[in-house]
Amino acid sequence: MATTKAEELAKKQREISVAEFFEKNRHLLGFDNKRKALLTAVKEAVDNSLDACEEAEIVPEVLVELIDMGNERFRVVVEDNGPGIVKEQIPKVFAKLLYGSKFHRLKQGRGQQGIGISASVMYAQLTTGRPARILSKIAPNKPANYYELKIDTITNKPLILGDEAKEWDKPHGTRVELDIEGSYLKGLQSVDEYLKETAIINPHVTITYVNPKAEQIIFPRASEQMPKQPKEIKPHPYGVELGILLKMMSNTEFRTLQAFLTNEFSRVGPGTAKEICEKALVPPNTAPKKVSRDDAEKLINAIKETKIISPPTDCISPIGEELFEKGLRKEVNAEFYCAVSRSPTVYRGNPFQVEVAIAYGGNQQADGSINLLRFANRVPLLYQQGACSIYKSVTQTNWKPYGLQQSNGALPTGPVTIAVHIASVWVPFTSESKEAIAHYPEIIDEIRLALQEAGRRLQTYVHKKHRVKNQLERANLFERYIPEVADALARLTGESKDKIVKHLNEMIKKKEIQEEIMEMESLKGEADDEKADDNGNNGNGNGEKD
Ligand SMILES: Nc1ncnc2c1ncn2[C@@H]1O[C@H](COP(=O)(O)OP(=O)(O)O)[C@@H](O)[C@H]1O
Ligand SMILES: [Mg+2]
């Protein structure tokens, strides 16, 4: 009997491991070209270092070293002074995709999917065939653990090629070494830019960077103040979808629907739980596991019709106006700085908060375009600008009243850096590589309001500067005619010419205007002083725009 087509196909049908999937689709994780791959590998490791240090309340000191091995291959080294990783976990953390501590919780963090560092390990083995080398130590009196790891992509399981205890003269921390194919270029999408922006948005971090030319660049911290540890929260009912509700109900340990709703969601007390059940016509004492699909749907609708207060917002850890401004001051040389932190608000049940900082003037961007810096949960976003909510809000804002030029629907122009940060327990990225923030209307609106608030502060400065500059121009113009005018007046009035010249010079108030300008520019002076102090021997090297 001839085999049917379906039977033929059946022979070819088999499971695909997540590792195989991403091995083929590495562009989804930020490894689409050599330049971006180098950035992504550094970014994943540094983001993890900062997350780990902050969770352990350790002021982060991170070393990033790129060693050029020729042939478009680089050794990427990232070392931190974080809490370290316990021995048994190291292989899974680095050599198993979708393994991590952050996915199953609602808490603001840099990582969320549990895929970042293992994807970098996979990319390393894919492009150079070399295993990742990990050294990690969890306490001063314990030896460090050293591993050489690859990923078995067919099973998505770690392959351990080396495993030994080692001495390490560090009390605790983690060191990751990956050999990858990459390409090192400076510019807006470079490792250098990423580190500079990381320093802006994390003023409490010190980064030592050794670039492929073996030059050392230090980004010193501007503050010892650690960010407030964000609290983990439960999901808010407004954000829950049918499938999720069904899954939660079948996994819960609570015996009644009312107890389930009260305990597994934020802001649902017994009264609200009862109200939801009543509206859905499902008895509150029903066992959650027994709730049917239809009833679950009724519950979802009832949730929508019930007034539930917004989730608590202490789960968000913003930078704050003062530190955001400080961070920008230390890396961007300008005349005027301001920062705005909005109050937290909510999209689909997820709290989020928007912050904006602006640096104006100085010798920024000779070509006139503004410098837009985008950040999500303290991570710089360097790709996919056009697809990002932040870009959308900036282009939709009318910057002309604030003293910047702008053609319709475009970014404004002028000597400005606009930095926008969104902090959330769950940042809605448009893809796994976390490059752009999805267009949620609530998010776009909040960003716009923050931009407008910062814009108004900018406006005050820009207008004053224009006014004073015009005054100076007029004074200069008049000054040029003083000898002639004085001559004429002397002849008409019989007064001495010298006296008239003196009076006229007083009248144009050039000195006062100049003083006012000096005062405005002294803002820039302060920024310069601070920069010099902070940098120590490092001079002007930190993160200058190339
Ligand atoms: N440098 C580090 N120090 C301590 N723990 C780390 C470090 N790097 C990674 N981890 C742990 O490994 C997990 C997996 O990291 P990763 O694959 O980047 O996923 P994610 O950061 O999205 O959770 C993290 O959740 C964290 O628990
Ligand atoms: Mg990560």
Least confident span in 337-346, 462-471, 534-543 = 534-543
At position 405, the amino acid (one-letter code) is Q
Distance CA 124, CA 132 (A): 7
Confidence category of residue 102, pLDDT binned at 50, 70, 90: confident
* 448 occurs within a structural domain: yes
Q: What is the pLDDT of residue 106?
A: 85
Confidence category of residue 371, pLDDT binned at 50, 70, 90: very high
Q: What CATH number does the domain containing 366 carry?
A: 3.30.230.10
* 289 occurs within a structural domain: yes
* 333 occurs within a structural domain: yes
User: Which one of 437, 458, 479 terminates a domain?
Assistant: 458
102 and 192 housed in the same domain: yes
33 and 106 housed in the same domain: yes
Atom 21, ligand 1: residue with shortest CA distance: 111
Q: What CATH number does the domain containing 247 carry?
A: 1.10.8.50
242 and 332 housed in the same domain: no
pLDDT of residue 545 exceeding 70, the answer is: no
Closest ligand 1 atom to residue 174 Cα is: 1
Complete DSSP assignment for 307-344: --PPPPSTT-----HHHHHHHHHHHS--SEEEEEEPPP
Confidence category of residue 10, pLDDT binned at 50, 70, 90: very high
* 316 occurs within a structural domain: no
At position 224, the amino acid (one-letter code) is E
195 and 277 housed in the same domain: no
Contact between 51 and 57 under an 8 Å Cβ cutoff? The reply is no
pLDDT (tens digit, 9 = 90+) per residue, 489-528? 999 999 999 999 999 999 888 888 888 888 876 654 344 4
pLDDT (tens digit, 9 = 90+) per residue, 146-162? 999 999 999 999 999 99
140 and 273 housed in the same domain: no
Confidence category of residue 532, pLDDT binned at 50, 70, 90: very low
Q: Is 120 in the pocket of ligand 1 (CB under 6 A)?
A: no
Contact between 104 and 114 under an 8 Å Cβ cutoff? The reply is no
Q: Is 101 in the pocket of ligand 1 (CB under 6 A)?
A: yes
* 1 occurs within a structural domain: no
* 545 occurs within a structural domain: no
Split into its structural domains, the chain has a count of 4
358 and 443 housed in the same domain: yes
pLDDT of residue 30 exceeding 70, the answer is: yes
Q: What is the pLDDT of residue 540?
A: 36
Segment 187-201 mean pLDDT: 96
113 CA to middle of ligand 2, Å? 7
335 and 466 housed in the same domain: no
450 and 486 housed in the same domain: no
Q: H or E segment at 177?
A: strand 173-181
115 CA to middle of ligand 2, Å? 7
User: Which one of 424, 458, 492 terminates a domain?
Assistant: 458
- For the CA atoms of 90, 96, 101, 104, the dihedral, rounded to the nearest 10 degrees, stands at -160
Q: Where are the alpha helices (DSSP H) in 25-76?
A: 34-55
Paired tokens of 170 = 């560090």
Higher pLDDT, 100 or 174: 174
Least confident span in 76-90, 191-205, 351-365, 381-395 = 351-365
409 and 472 housed in the same domain: no
* 215 occurs within a structural domain: yes
Distance CA 178, CA 299 (A): 49
Q: Which ligand is nearest to the CA of 102?
A: 1
447 and 471 housed in the same domain: no
440 and 508 housed in the same domain: no
User: Which one of 401, 428, 458 terminates a domain?
Assistant: 458
Q: Is 115 in the pocket of ligand 1 (CB under 6 A)?
A: yes
Q: Is 351 in the pocket of ligand 1 (CB under 6 A)?
A: no
Mean pLDDT of the chain: 91
Q: What CATH number does the domain containing 108 carry?
A: 3.30.565.10
* Domain, as residue range, for 89: 18-219
277 and 371 housed in the same domain: no
pLDDT (tens digit, 9 = 90+) per residue, 221-237? 999 999 998 989 999 99
* 325 occurs within a structural domain: yes
Distance CA 540, CA 537 (A): 9
- For the CA atoms of 154, 147, 432, 173, the dihedral, rounded to the nearest 10 degrees, stands at 170
Of 169, 205, 187, the closest CA to residue 35 belongs to: 187
Segment 269-293 mean pLDDT: 97
Q: H or E segment at 450?
A: helix 441-493
Least confident span in 27-31, 68-72, 140-144 = 27-31
10 CA to middle of ligand 2, Å? 37
Q: Is 134 in the pocket of ligand 1 (CB under 6 A)?
A: no
